[in-house]
Structures are given as C-alpha cells and as structure tokens.
C-alpha cells in the first residue's frame, strides 16, 4: 500500500466522520446543559433537505449550509419550547421531532429528488495541497471539515475556559441550585438547544451539499442516532468525541471497502457493522468506568420548572 | 415577558380528555394549512383523510388491521414508558418476532397429521423472540448501566438487516423465480379470517384481548402498581423496596413480547410469508400511539384507531389528490408534539409574567 493510498483512506474516513462530529458537538452542548434532545436525526435530515433546496435555488453552497442550519434551528426551537418552556417529556418530544423532521424533509425535498450539483469546493493551496502523503488530508478538504474541527475547538474552549461555559455545565449538573443562585437556567438551556439544532442542521446540509451532492429521502440513514451515541461514547468531552467520530467513520468506510472487495460475509452483516460497533463501544465504555460512577451531567433529561 | 408554570392542585379528568382532543384539532388545522400550501383544497383533503376511509367495508377492515399491531405494540410500550424506561426499539422486536414465528411456520411446512399446534407455536415463538431481543438492552442497562435508548434503537437496524438477509438468503423460496421471499405458509400456519372472502383476520382479536389484559394488569395488579409508582416517584419506589432491576427486565419483557406477538401476527395474518421487510414502521408509529393514548391501554386503543385512520386516509389522499405520504408523517409528528405540550397544560397553569427571563 502506497502512502497515497493510505492518505486516500484517511481522507474518506475524515469525510465520513465530519457529519458525525458536527452533529455530535452540538448535542454535546445541549446535554451539558442538562437537556437530552433525541431529535438529532430529524433536525439533520431537515437540514439536508432544506440545505440542498436552498443551494439549488440560490446557487450558493454557503447559503445552502446556512439554510440547513436554520432548518435545524427552527425544529430545535419547537423542541425547546416544549421541553424547556413547557417542561414536556424530553424523550418523547425528541422522538416527535425525529418523526416530524423526517416528514417535513420529504415534503421540502420532493421537488429536488434526482437533481445534482457540484459538491462543495475543496481547499486548494499551491504546493501545500499537493504535498505527497499529507497534502490532500491536511490542506485539501472542503470547508465543512475545517468548520467541524474549528467548532469542536471553540466548544471545548467555551465549556472549560469561559464563565458562560462554567454556568452552562453547572446548570446541566444541578438546575435547582443554579436557579437558586439567580442564574437564567431556562434561557441558557434554550440557547443550548438552539445551538444543537443549528449544528445538526449544518451536519445534514454537509451530507447533501458535500458528502453525496444530491438529496435523497432518509439519506441520513441513522447518522443522527449514531451522533447521539457518540456523545455518550465521548463521555461528554469534545476531544474524545472527535476520536470516536473518526472510529465510527472508519467503521463506515471499512464496511464500504469490504463490500466492494466481497470478502465472503453477507452485505447485510457489513451494513450492520456501525450499529453493532456502537453497542459494543457503549458496553466497553461502561465496563471501563464501573468504579467511577456515571460521567453524565447529573440533571440530564430531567425537566425543570422554577417554583418559589 | 417570561413564561411561568404554576402547578395545578389536582388533575381534572375533563382536561385529561380535552387535551389530546384539542391537540388533534390543532394538528388538523395546521395540516390543512400545509395542504393548502401544496395547492390542494383542505376540505377535499379532510374528506380523503378522515371521512372516505370510514365509508367502505374494505377500508374499515384496513383500519382495524393497521390499528391492531399499533395498539398491541403501544400497549406493551406503555409499561416501559410508565416506568420511565425508554424502549424505542419495538420495531426491531416486531421484526425479530415475525422472523422467528415465520421460521416455525417454514420448518413445519407440509407436515401432516395433527397440525393444530403449529399456529400457537408460531405465536409463542414470535413472542419469545421479541422478549429475548428486548432483553439485550434491558440486561445491558441493568448490569452495566448502558443507555437503553441507544442500544434498543441500534438493534432495530440489526434486526432489519437480519430479516433482509434471511428472506433473500437461506429462507428464500427456491422455486420462487428468484423473488426475495419465502414459500407461502400452509393454511395451518395462517391466522384464520373472521369473515368469508374478506381481509380481517384473527390477529385483531389477539390485539384487542391483549389491550384488555393490559388494562387489568396495569390497573389491578401489584406489578402494574409497581410500574406506576416507579414512574411517578422513583424515590418512593426505592423506599417501598421495589427492585428496579427486576422491574426493568419485566417491563422490557412485556413490551418486547407484545411487539414480537404483533410481528408474528402480521406475518401469519396479512403477509403469509417472509419478506425482506414486514413492517411499514409500526414500531415507531406505536411510540406516537402510546403517548397519544396517554400511556393507558384504553386510550391507546382509541389512538391506534385514529392513527390507522389517518394512515389509510393518507394512502387514499396520495392516490386521489397526489398528496405525498410524508405529509402524513409530518402530521403525526406534529400531533405528538402538540399532545406532549398540551399534557403540560393539564399539570400546570401557564402564565405570561412581565419581567426578565429566568
């Protein structure tokens, strides 16, 4: 295997990991604030449909990506109104969001099925992008990949290096105490939910604008759910999240390569690989921290109503 | 301005019925707007969705056939959701139940002599397979603390791929012109029809009996009481000495068994052979049904009929008015969101108060 082939594989792994990174980093912030939004899949697929539609209509990938993020944000606002505003059950509301998102995406995307457009442009720096072995990997990706990594760094910095991040994590661990301190629990949670929605929408638009530059119904194929698993897998830490996403991206790519090389196993067994890998990863992770107790934000999934 | 929730002293039974009804009305109104945006007359769409399916015998039977698996799965899920356990993999348990029961049918294909045991064996096999499949997330949760939400969902994809493999591979009818489906089941392996020459089969009765049974178990037995206490107040349940682990396993067994039974009833009733897909998403739609029915078995029965009506109506509207099927799904998602929001209004008074947000 030559150096360039290794690079090729790494590039595909990174592209497969990018939508997971973007969606999961948003959900990480939401869960750190103590809210469990299971609607990632719905927001993602809406982002994919709306993003593609907007890109076709305006001819601009950037506007498409923004529209996709906006679609995720809109759905997240509905979720936030229900769960943060009205203290409705978070699990059920998230499922409602998923079903609603799948339906809406089908409605929005219907006129655009079968259309194609050029994938998002890749970075092109003279000399650097052509470096053998690492050029394409480091300097030849599209903007989404860099945005995903920048987003991860920004979130990591915000959560652990700013006062706002400290407050957000405190709210996620104990909403009653933070409320008693006079901190705006519901306001911050709502903002976190909106951020998570925008990220999920952006991740979805990456799928339809760069990964496979067309729209197909249900094209997210469970990636939203894998992003959710990834947040648990990463024990709510951004750096581990990137590592996990690359692992899962690797599993997806491995499955594609193995299918192409027809290694005797039935195709269905290989398609099941990412899902089985998710379960195995969750099991291994919990085996690893048997003594330490749960790492989850303590108030995760609990609803909050301020009483005096 | 800020939104304040003031807890209500008691929960009025009237509000408990009004809340889902008003949510339904609101969702219908918004659906009407969406239909108008798609360029179709809302009244015509309303007639196609809610009136036309009720006017003919065949569509009434279709509604009952769609409502039966939904009610059965949702009733099982109610046990989990009441106890704050989140099994969202009923779709997978449904598929595995259908596959296992179907394997029994195929293994006994063509047997002569006393064959009355075959159908009960299929139903039991499907139920047990559903239970076994639901035990995976339940045991992982109890023993290792792994989130049941994610594991149960991931297992859905695995189950679907397993059925796909079996129906295209080992179980394919060798004389079936390469169609990806099994041999048609013998008559002894089919649920009997309730009326001569019609489509309604005995699976509807199985579902109805299960809902009645669940009503009694949930309302009148110690197990049902434990489920309700754990959901309403986990702390009180711990003081009362209820074992959380045992309850988790039991609730998952109930929901997995119900989904598995629904799966084999669908295969032995409507389909009559194994195919790569046997469910149009019953396991997921049942989640809506469970919440729409406020997690009580009688309510679930009504909700299942309503959702089945909109689904059959949606299929009719697709043919007659060219309305996309996604509209039905968006409507159902919106309906669930409204029901969940309205539920809050029965527990709290919502006040808009001037002042900063908190």
What gap in Å lies between CA B2 and CA A124, rounded to an integer? Answer: 50
Residue B357 domain-assigned (yes or no):
no
Residue A302 domain-assigned (yes or no):
no
| pLDDT reported for residue A190 | 95
Q: From B153, which residue of chain A is nearest by alpha-carbon distance?
A: A225
Q: Is the pLDDT of residue A5 over 70?
A: yes
Q: Is the pLDDT of residue B355 over 70?
A: no
Better pLDDT: A259 or A17: A17
Q: Is the pLDDT of residue B356 over 60?
A: no
| pLDDT reported for residue A212 | 85
Residue A143: C-alpha distances to residues A121, A138, A206 (Å): 8, 12, 10
Chain B residues with CB-CB distance to A283 below 8 A: 140, 144, 146
| CA-closest candidate to residue B218, choices B337, B74, B20, B94 | B74
pLDDT bin (cut points 50, 70, 90) of residue A282 is confident
Residue A188: C-alpha distances to residues A26, A30, A235, A283 (Å): 14, 10, 21, 32
Q: Is the pLDDT of residue A258 over 80?
A: no
Strand partners, B3: B352
| pLDDT reported for residue A274 | 78
With vertex at residue B99, the alpha carbon angle to CA B93 and CA B100, rounded to the nearest 5 degrees, is: 90
Summarised one tens digit per residue, pLDDT across range A239-256 is 889 988 988 888 878 877
pLDDT bin (cut points 50, 70, 90) of residue B138 is very high
CB atoms within 10 A of CB B84: 16
Residue B151 burial (10 A CB sphere; 0-12, 13-18, 19+): buried
| pLDDT reported for residue A288 | 74
What gap in Å lies between CA A9 and CA A118, rounded to an integer? Answer: 22
Q: Tokens standing for A195? A: 């951020």
pLDDT bin (cut points 50, 70, 90) of residue A80 is very high
| pLDDT reported for residue B159 | 95
| pLDDT reported for residue B123 | 95
Residue A301 domain-assigned (yes or no):
no
Find the CATH number of the domain harbouring A279. 1.10.3470
Residue B231 domain-assigned (yes or no):
yes
What gap in Å lies between CA B174 and CA B298, rounded to an integer? Answer: 45
What gap in Å lies between CA A159 and CA A165, rounded to an integer? Answer: 4
Residue B335 domain-assigned (yes or no):
no
Range(s) of the domain holding residue B140: 73-292
Please check whether residue B100 is in contact with residue B229, taking contact to mean a CB–CB distance below 8 angstroms. no
| pLDDT reported for residue B339 | 87
Q: Is the pLDDT of residue B345 over 80?
A: no
When scoring B135, B232, B344 by the number of chain A Cβ atoms within 10 A, the one with the most, hence best to mutate, is B344
CB atoms within 10 A of CB B352: 8
Residue B15 domain-assigned (yes or no):
no
Number of domains in chain B: 1
Q: Is the pLDDT of residue A194 over 90?
A: yes
Q: How far is A60 from chain B (nearest CA, A)?
A: 26
Contact status of A265 with chain B (Cβ, < 8 Å): no
CB-CB under 8 Å, A91 with B328 = no
- Among the ranges given (A224-238, B11-25, B72-86, B304-318), the one the predictor scored with the smallest mean pLDDT: B11-25
Handedness of CA B147, B148, B150, B155 (dihedral sign): positive
- Tally: H helices and E strands in chain A: 13, 0
Chain B residues with CB-CB distance to A276 below 8 A: 154, 158
B116-125 burial: b if 16+ Cβ within 10 Å, else e? eebbebbbbb
Better pLDDT: A120 or B29: B29
- Among the ranges given (A75-79, A81-85, A247-251), the one the predictor scored with the smallest mean pLDDT: A247-251
CB-CB under 8 Å, B154 with A279 = yes
What gap in Å lies between CA B256 and CA B117, rounded to an integer? Answer: 23
Nearest by CB to residue A283, choosing from B144, B153, B358, is: B144
* B186-205 mean pLDDT: 86
Residue B343 domain-assigned (yes or no):
no
* A104-117 mean pLDDT: 87
| pLDDT reported for residue B1 | 61
Q: Is the pLDDT of residue A293 over 70?
A: no
Chain A residues with CB-CB distance to B231 below 8 A: none
Cβ-proximal residues to B48 (8 Å cutoff; 6+ apart), any chain = B313, B316, B317, B320, B321, B323
Please tell me whether residue B193 adopts helix, strand or coil conformation: strand
Q: How far is B151 from chain A (nearest CA, A)?
A: 6
pLDDT bin (cut points 50, 70, 90) of residue A48 is very high
| CA-closest candidate to residue A92, choices B158, B342, B131, B15 | B342
Handedness of CA B271, B277, B281, B284 (dihedral sign): positive
* B306-323 mean pLDDT: 87
Chain B residues with CB-CB distance to A282 below 8 A: 140, 146-147, 150-151
Residue A300 domain-assigned (yes or no):
no
Number of domains in chain A: 1
CB-CB under 8 Å, A283 with B146 = yes
Better pLDDT: A204 or B8: A204
Range(s) of the domain holding residue A29: 3-118+126-288
CB-CB under 8 Å, A78 with B337 = yes
Q: Is the pLDDT of residue A1 over 70?
A: no
pLDDT bin (cut points 50, 70, 90) of residue B122 is very high
pLDDT bin (cut points 50, 70, 90) of residue B56 is confident
Please check whether residue B64 is in contact with residue B204, taking contact to mean a CB–CB distance below 8 angstroms. yes
| pLDDT reported for residue A119 | 79
Cβ-proximal residues to B210 (8 Å cutoff; 6+ apart), any chain = B71, B72, B75, B258, B261
| pLDDT reported for residue B13 | 75
Q: Is the pLDDT of residue B214 over 90?
A: yes
Summarised one tens digit per residue, pLDDT across range A178-190 is 888 888 888 999 9
Q: Is the pLDDT of residue A147 over 60?
A: yes
* Candidate ranges A27-31, A272-276, B35-39, B234-238; pick with highest mean pLDDT: A27-31
Residue B233 domain-assigned (yes or no):
yes
CB-CB under 8 Å, A179 with B340 = no
CB-CB under 8 Å, A98 with B340 = no
pLDDT bin (cut points 50, 70, 90) of residue A261 is confident
Residues within 8 A of B (CB atoms), A 114-133 only: none
Q: How many CA atoms lie within 13 A of B256 on its CB side?
A: 29
Residue A175 domain-assigned (yes or no):
yes
B296 — phi, psi (to 5°)? -120, 135
CB-CB under 8 Å, B336 with A103 = no
Q: How far is B341 from chain A (nearest CA, A)?
A: 6
Chain A residues with CB-CB distance to B161 below 8 A: 268-269, 271-272
Average pLDDT, chain B: 88
Q: Tokens standing for B14? A: 């009237």
Q: What secondary structure does DSSP assign to chain A, as a single string?
A: --HHHHHHHHHHHHHHHHHHHHHHHHHHHHHHTT---TTHHHHHHHHHHHHHHHHHHH--HHHHHHHHHHHHHHHHHHHHIIIIIS---HHHHHHHHHHHHHHHHHHHHGGGTT---PPPPBP--TTGGG-TTTHHHHHS-BHHHHHHHHHHHHHHHHHHHSHHHHHHHHHHH-HHHHHHTT--HHHHHHHHHHHHHHHHHHHHHHIIIIISSS--TTTTTTHHHHHHHHHHHTTT-HHHHHHHHHHHHHHHHHHHHHHHHT-SS-HHHHHTHHHHHHHHHHHHHHHHTTTT---S-TTTT-------
Q: Is the pLDDT of residue A275 over 80?
A: yes
CB-CB under 8 Å, B357 with A187 = yes
Q: Is the pLDDT of residue B210 over 80?
A: yes
Residue B176 domain-assigned (yes or no):
yes
Please tell me whether residue B233 adopts helix, strand or coil conformation: coil
Residue B272 domain-assigned (yes or no):
yes
* B249-253 mean pLDDT: 96
CB-CB under 8 Å, B343 with A100 = no
| CA-closest candidate to residue A175, choices A27, A30, A31, A34 | A34
* A110-123 mean pLDDT: 81
């Amino acid at each position: 295997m030559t150096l360039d082939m290794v690079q090729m594989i790494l590039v595909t792994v990174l592209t497969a990991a990018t939508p997971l990174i973007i969606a999961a980093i948003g959900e990480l912030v939401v869960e750190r604030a103590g809210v469990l939004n299971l609607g990632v899949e719905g927001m993602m697929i809406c982002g994919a449909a709306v993003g593609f539609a907007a890109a076709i209509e305006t001819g601009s990938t950037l506007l498409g990506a923004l529209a996709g993020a906006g679609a995720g944000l809109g759905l997240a606002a509905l979720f936030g109104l229900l769960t943060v505003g009205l203290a409705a059950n978070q699990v059920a509301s998230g499922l409602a969001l998923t079903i609603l998102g799948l339906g809406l995406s089908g409605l929005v995307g219907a006129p655009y099925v079968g259309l194609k457009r050029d994938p998002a442009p890749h970075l092109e720096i003279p000399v650097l992008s052509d470096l053998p072995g690492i050029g394409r990997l480091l300097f030849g990706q599209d903007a989404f990949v860099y945005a995903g990594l920048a987003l991860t760094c920004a979130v990591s910095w915000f959560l652990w290096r700013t006062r706002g991040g400290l407050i957000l994590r405190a709210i996620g661990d104990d909403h009653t105490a933070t409320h008693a301190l006079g901190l705006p629990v519901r306001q911050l949670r709502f903002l976190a939910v909106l951020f998570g929605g925008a990220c999920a929408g952006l991740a979805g638009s990456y799928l339809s604008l760069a990964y496979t530059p067309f729209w197909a119904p249900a094209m997210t194929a469970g990636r939203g759910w894998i992003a959710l698993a990834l947040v648990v897998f990463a024990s709510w830490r951004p750096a581990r999240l990137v590592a996990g996403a690359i692992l899962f991206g690797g599993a997806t790519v491995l499955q594609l390569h193995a299918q192409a090389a027809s290694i005797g196993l039935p195709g269905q067994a290989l398609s099941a690989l990412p899902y089985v890998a998710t379960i195995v990863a969750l099991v291994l992770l919990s085996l690893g921290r048997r003594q330490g107790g749960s790492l989850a934000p303590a108030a995760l999934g609990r609803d909050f109503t301020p009483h005096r | 301005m800020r939104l304040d929730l003031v807890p209500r002293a008691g929960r009025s039974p009237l509000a408990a019925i009004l809340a889902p009804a008003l949510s339904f009305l609101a969702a219908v109104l918004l659906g009407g707007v969406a239909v108008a945006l798609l360029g179709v007359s809302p009244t015509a769409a309303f007639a196609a969705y809610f009136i036309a399916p009720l006017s003919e015998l065949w569509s009434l039977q279709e509604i009952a056939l769609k409502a039966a698996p939904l009610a059965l799965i949702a009733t099982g899920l109610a046990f989990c959701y009441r106890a704050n356990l989140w099994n969202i993999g009923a779709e997978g348990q449904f598929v595995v139940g259908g596959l296992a029961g179907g394997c029994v049918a195929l293994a006994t294909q063509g047997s002569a002599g006393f064959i009355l045991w075959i159908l009960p064996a299929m139903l039991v096999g499907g139920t047990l397979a559903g239970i076994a499949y639901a035990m995976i997330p339940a045991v992982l949760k109890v023993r290792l603390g792994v989130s049941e939400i994610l594991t149960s969902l991931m297992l859905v994809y695995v189950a679907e791929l397993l059925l796909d493999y079996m129906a295209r591979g080992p179980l394919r009818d060798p004389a079936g012109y390469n169609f990806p489906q099994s041999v048609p089941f013998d008559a002894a392996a089919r649920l009997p029809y309730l009326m001569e020459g019609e489509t309604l089969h005995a699976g509807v009765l199985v579902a109805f009996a299960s809902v009645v049974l669940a009503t009694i178990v949930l309302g009148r037995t110690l197990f049902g009481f434990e489920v309700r206490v754990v959901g309403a107040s986990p702390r009180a349940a711990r003081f009362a000495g209820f074992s959380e682990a045992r309850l988790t396993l039991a609730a998952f067994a109930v929901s997995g068994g119900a989904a598995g039974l629904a799966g084999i009833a669908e295969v032995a009733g409507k389909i009559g052979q194994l195919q790569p897909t046997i469910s149009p998403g019953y396991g997921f739609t049942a989640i809506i049904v469970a919440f729409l029915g406020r997690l009580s078995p009688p309510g679930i029965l009504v909700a299942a009929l309503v959702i089945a009506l909109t689904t059959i109506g949606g299929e009719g509207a697709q043919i007659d008015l060219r309305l996309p099927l996604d509209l039905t799904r968006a409507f159902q998602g919106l309906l669930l969101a409204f029901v969940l929001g309205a539920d809050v209004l029965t527990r709290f008074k919502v006040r808009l108060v001037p002042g900063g947000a908190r």
